[in-house]
Amino acid sequence: MLKGKNILLCVTGGIAVYKAAALTSKLTQAGASVKIIMSNGAQKFVTPLTFQALSRNDVYTDTFDEKHPESIAHIDLADWADLVLVAPATANIIGKLANGIADDMISTTLLAATAPVWIAPAMNVHMYDHPAVKRNIERLQSYGYQFVEPNEGYLACGYVGKGRMEEPENIVKLISSYWEKEKNQPLKGKKIVITAGPTREILDPVRFFSNRSSGKMGYALAEEAHQLGADVTLISGPVSLNPPIGVNVKYIENAEEMYDAVLEEFPSADIVIKSAAVADYRPKQVSNEKMKKQDGDLIIQMERTKDILKTLGERKDHQFLVGFAAETSNLDEYAMSKLKRKNADMIIANNVNEKGAGFEEDTNIVTIYKKDGSNKRLGLMSKKELAKEIFREIVKTLQEERSK
């Protein structure tokens, strides 16, 4: 399964270094070519000779100990790798990587790596639970780093809890199935921009206009696009969802910021999916002071925001443009009219009055409208399942267009 794959194993200092030796052996037996970098801490537990014998390759320990004058080792190793695995990963290396620190062979190589980087933490349960460590892990996840979660169980420090590095055979299985999946990724090499969540249009320092979008639909689409191999940028309004692993997330607050963020990504995008619920209007006047109650009614003058989907429709050259339509009646008529007016290639319409559909729910019921006038109604399903269906339809349509 791993035949011909180059795996760079970065071993940092913890008792789980002994597992990294077993991991090297299993990866090598599975056909991978494994090169190893050890931190100073790791060498206190096991010597480089063990890894050299198991991998049949040189082991790297010092950024300035250049073995071959024709190359610079940390750049060469980063370029060589098809996958970089940090196992065991201490709180220290996670913290350094999350903050861009490059002060030894492993941290410099990690910053230079463009291949996928997998991190298998191993540490004491309280260290793993520390807010600083959690923040660093979340930050790295938002950059697209993949974490192999530690197991719960007996820890070398005497505690029982989460912090044991995943077993080497399971890591090998995870890596194998990752490459198995890679083979079947129809969106590999495509850049997909997805918008999600609501926008907030400020009225004064304590009030804003917004809507009920939770971001669930857009986040499910982003996760699925990543699974299918795409390079995904998710432009998200304020939501309380975790950033999807492997996805580049850009947070915005209001419709104007979403317009700028989407337009910036648009020229290099292949597919754009606009599932965000963008405000159509915003207060014309924004008060710097909290507005005081007055007797009688309050009239707030609203002005139109920019229509992002329409702008994209006017500017598109090669991009496949997918809009959403949140309707409460006349789905067919309104969706087809949006498709034409906004020059989209596909509109996903949901009747947000229908039970199980639309805002906040974990499920949705949609009809997919295409440029050729055809449509496909999908029954009640989870937003995650729906994301798969939507991409199946997009991939099919792109293949049909290509074969014309």
Q: Which stretch binds ligand PMT (CB under 6 A): 31-39, 169-177, 295-303, 353-361?
A: 353-361
User: Is residue 254 at the binding interface for ligand PMT, with CB under 6 A as the rule?
Assistant: no
Per rule CB under 6 A, is residue 214 in the interface with ligand PMT? yes
Q: Is 305 in the site for ligand PMT (CB under 6 A)?
A: yes
157 is catalytic: yes
324 near ligand PMT, rule: CB under 6 A: yes
181 annotated as ligand-binding: no
User: Residue 216 corresponds to which amino acid?
Assistant: K
Integer Cα distance of 241 and 360 in angstroms: 12
Tell me the per-residue interface mask from 218 to 247 with ligand PMT, x by CB under 6 A, - otherwise: ------------------------------
Q: Which two tokens stand for residue 295?
A: 């007797």
Binding mask 92-131 for ligand PMT (x = CB under 6 A): ----------------------------------------
Nearest C-alpha neighbor of 165 from the set 124, 108, 205, 106 = 124
Residue 255 C-beta: closest distance to ligand PMT, Å: 5
Shortest separation between residue 165's beta carbon and ligand PMT, angstroms? 36
| Cα–Cα distance list, 42 to 8, 51, 89, 137, 391 (Å) | 15, 11, 10, 21, 44
Contact region with ligand PMT (CB under 6 A), list: 79-87, 104-112, 128-136, 275-283: 275-283
Regarding 251 and contact with ligand PMT (CB under 6 A), the answer is no
Q: How far is the CB of 326 from ligand PMT (least distance, A)?
A: 4
Closer to ligand PMT at the Cβ: 234 or 326? 326
Nearer to ligand PMT, 56 or 304 (CB): 304
32/3 Cα distance (integer angstroms) = 5
Q: Does 314 bind ligand PMT (CB under 6 A)?
A: no
Question: If phi over 0 gives left and psi between -120 and 50 gives alpha, with beta otherwise, what is residue 196?
Answer: beta
Q: Is 325 in the site for ligand PMT (CB under 6 A)?
A: yes
Which of 74, 191, 216, 370 binds ligand PMT (CB under 6 A)? It is 216
- Is 316 among the annotated ligand-binding positions? no
If one asks whether residue 24 binds ligand PMT (CB under 6 A), the answer comes out as no
Between residues 120 and 262, which has the closer beta carbon with respect to ligand PMT?
262
338 is in an annotated binding site: yes
Q: Which of 75, 156, 157, 206 is catalytic?
A: 157
Q: Can you tell me which of 42, 93, 278, 368 binds ligand PMT, judged by CB under 6 A? A: 278
- Given the rule CB under 6 A, which of 131-139, 320-328, 385-393, 394-402 is the region that contacts ligand PMT? 320-328
One residue of 165, 323, 339, 351 binding ligand PMT per CB under 6 A: 323
Token pair of 253 as six digits: 């607050």
Q: Which two tokens stand for residue 282?
A: 């915003």
* Cα separation, 182 vs 304, whole angstroms: 44
- From 65-73, 207-215, 373-381, 396-404, give the range in contact with ligand PMT by CB under 6 A: 207-215
Find, among 34, 36, 41, the residue nearest to 3 by Cα. Answer: 34
* Residue list for the binding site for CTP: 280, 290, 324, 338, 342
Provide the annotated active-site residues.
157
The residue ranges that bind ligand PMT (CB under 6 A) are 197, 213-217, 255, 274-278, 280, 305, 307-309, 323-326, 338, 350, 352, 358-360
